């Protein structure tokens, strides 16, 4: 947290400011050029602004501490915000694709390409700065909503480059139809990015297990304690910026409750160093007790 504002919220505020700035630039350029690629870029920035506002809402709700009604916190608000972004991006892609096809069939050409090229270069610079800033925050704090926003702005780099290429090819090199063709490619790219963000958000909402490599690393760290005689029933999930893990461990049958509690604290301390921000719940079992009850190890 810096200056009283959580890192994820600072990233979201930067995203809102950047989107608003780009809307003003691209609105002027779209009016001057009539380019469908530039219009698609403008629509994308408009949706970026709405999506960034939703992202800001999501990270603010997700940062709220657990309460009586939400004992596991509010982390899944970020996944909901990401899904809202997906819906907006998908609608944008469909509208841009349709406009590109109709303009291609009509044989329309853009004009005043210099406006569109100049604005797109400024947009590239502003977007690059935002991506770098968001990545610096993501290195310190994981946020699915900010990560989805970052991925989308990465696609904006390609989108702005595509606008420049479309205008140069169509107006300066005489390749009629390049502008709407690039418009279709932009729409397809947006759709692909929306799919990836949707998969990540749904995985969190469905409490998908961690990747196997991370699970195995977690088990390896836990198993380093010399007084543990087995680990089983590991369950993992992620909610917003927080991870949750619960598992059972086997300890010596003659170990007292106080001794078992000491061992659990030591295991949790080791895991907290390797997996910061993870809420861990450990249930101790006397060695052999699970198998006697007929449960799988």
Which residues in the chain show pLDDT less than 50?
1-3, 290, 292-297
Buried b (16+ CB within 10 A) or exposed e, 80-90: bbbbbbbebbb
Report pLDDT for 297. 40
Report pLDDT for 217. 92
What would the pLDDT profile of 9-67 be if each residue is shown by its tens digit?
787 788 888 888 888 888 888 887 777 777 777 877 777 787 777 767 766 776 666 66
Report pLDDT for 148. 67
Domain boundaries, the chain: 7-205, 212-292
Report pLDDT for 262. 92
Report pLDDT for 85. 74
Report pLDDT for 100. 74
Class of domain 7-205: mainly alpha
- Cα–Cα distance measured from residue 42 to residue 261, given in angstroms and rounded to the nearest whole number: 59
Q: Which fold has domain 212-292?
A: Alpha-Beta Plaits (3.30.70)
Q: 291 and 232 in contact (C-beta within 8 Å)?
A: no
Q: 218 and 193 in contact (C-beta within 8 Å)?
A: no
Write out the two tokens for 106. Answer: 């009509």
Instruction: State residue 284 phi and psi, 5-degree precision.
Output: -85, 140
Report pLDDT for 245. 92
Residues contacting 44, CB < 8 A, separation 6+: 92, 96, 156, 159, 186, 190
User: Which residue reads 């418009």 in tokens?
Assistant: 183
- Cα–Cα distance measured from residue 193 to residue 44, given in angstroms and rounded to the nearest whole number: 12
DSSP state of 210: P
Q: How far is CA 144 from CA 78, 90, 99, 291, in A?
A: 6, 19, 32, 39
Q: Where are the alpha helices (DSSP H) in 107-177?
A: 113-138, 144-167
Q: 82 and 197 in contact (C-beta within 8 Å)?
A: yes
Report pLDDT for 293. 47
Task: Please state, rounded to an integer, the average pLDDT across all residues of the chain.
Answer: 79
Report pLDDT for 241. 66
């Amino acid at each position: 947290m810096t200056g009283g504002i959580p890192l994820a919220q600072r990233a979201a505020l930067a995203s809102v400011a950047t989107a608003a700035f780009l809307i003003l630039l691209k609105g002027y350029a779209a009016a001057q050029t009539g380019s469908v690629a530039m219009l698609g870029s403008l629509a994308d920035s408009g949706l970026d602004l709405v999506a960034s506002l939703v992202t800001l809402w999501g990270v603010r709700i997700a940062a709220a501490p657990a309460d009586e009604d939400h004992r596991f916190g509010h982390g899944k608000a970020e996944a909901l915000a990401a899904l809202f972004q997906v819906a907006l991006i998908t609608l944008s892609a469909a509208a841009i694709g349709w406009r590109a096809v109709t303009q291609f069939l009509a044989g329309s050409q853009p004009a005043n390409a210099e406006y569109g090229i100049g604005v797109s270069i400024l947009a590239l610079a502003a977007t690059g700065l935002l991506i770098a800033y968001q990545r610096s925050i993501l290195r310190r704090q994981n946020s699915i909503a900010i990560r989805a926003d970052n991925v989308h702005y990465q696609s904006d780099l390609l989108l702005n480059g595509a606008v420049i290429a479309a205008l140069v090819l169509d107006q300066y090199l005489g390749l009629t139809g390049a502008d709407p063709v690039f418009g279709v490619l932009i729409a397809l790219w947006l759709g692909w990015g929306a799919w990836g963000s949707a998969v990540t958000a749904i995985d969190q909402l469905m409490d998908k297990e961690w990747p196997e490599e991370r699970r195995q690393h977690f088990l390896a760290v836990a198993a380093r304690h010399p007084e543990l005689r087995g680990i089983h029933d590991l369950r993992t999930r992620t909610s917003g910026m927080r991870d949750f893990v619960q598992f059972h461990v086997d300890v010596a049958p003659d170990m007292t409750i106080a001794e078992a509690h000491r061992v659990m604290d030591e295991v949790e301390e080791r895991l907290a160093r390797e997996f910061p921000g993870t809420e861990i719940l450990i249930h101790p079992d006397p060695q052999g007790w699970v198998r006697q009850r007929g449960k799988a190890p």
